Structure 1
Amino acid sequence: MLEAILECCAGLDVHQESVVACVLSGPLDRKPQCEIRTFGTMTEELLELGEWLVSLGCTHVAMESTGVYWKPVWNVLERS
């Protein structure tokens, strides 16, 4: 079994027209809570994604992407 080392982290599934975000959060000694939201890929929507992650206290993000669709997501989140 893996040991939890972060109290809040996210996984992003990046597509051409959407980003599905899954955030796991909670105390390290308990099962984490899971929140899933879908965002669009326009700049305003990616900024909303960044604000949502910051509001949850998310400090680390992993992305899965086909092609170059991850680049605008990374550019926006790097500033958050």
Structure 2
Amino acid sequence: RDLICTIPGISTTTADVIIAETGGQMAQFPTPGHLASWAGVCPGQHQSAGRVKNVKTRPGNRHLKGALGATALSIASHKGTFLNAKYRRLVRSRGKPKAIVALEHTLLTVVWIMLTDNVVYDEPGPDYHQQRHPERTKNRAIYDLHKLGYDVTITPHGAA
């Protein structure tokens, strides 16, 4: 329980629900995807005539889904964490409901890794992706400024 509570946004109540519903042992779930699928936080899809259509999430454990949903909403409203930054990135392209489900899926993946390897959550920080992919960050800023009607010229620091 204390291990799960190291994730920002997860309360002791949510940690208790996760432990109660999963049994606290991740041996019955070979991968984090199996756990997420069992919990019902995987995106559903139907395939017909070569076309893949996104549909509602699978039915799963309603107690676990409820606790994860409340935690995801809490994380979505508290800035300054990696998980909140992930939520904000996903909202731009997919919308709030799908971003919440994706955050629930990420939370279960993190919990599975923590309980399987017995490690404490290591917060990468909200600017993790910006530091890891500075070129994407630069291109995104240029694109946003172009949408606002600005012409942008990039010059390296100290070259002016």
Q: TM-score, normalising length from structure 1?
A: 0.29
Q: Which structure dedicates a bigger proportion of its chain to strand?
A: 1
Q: Which structure dedicates a bigger proportion of its chain to helix?
A: 2
Q: TM-score, normalising length from structure 2?
A: 0.17
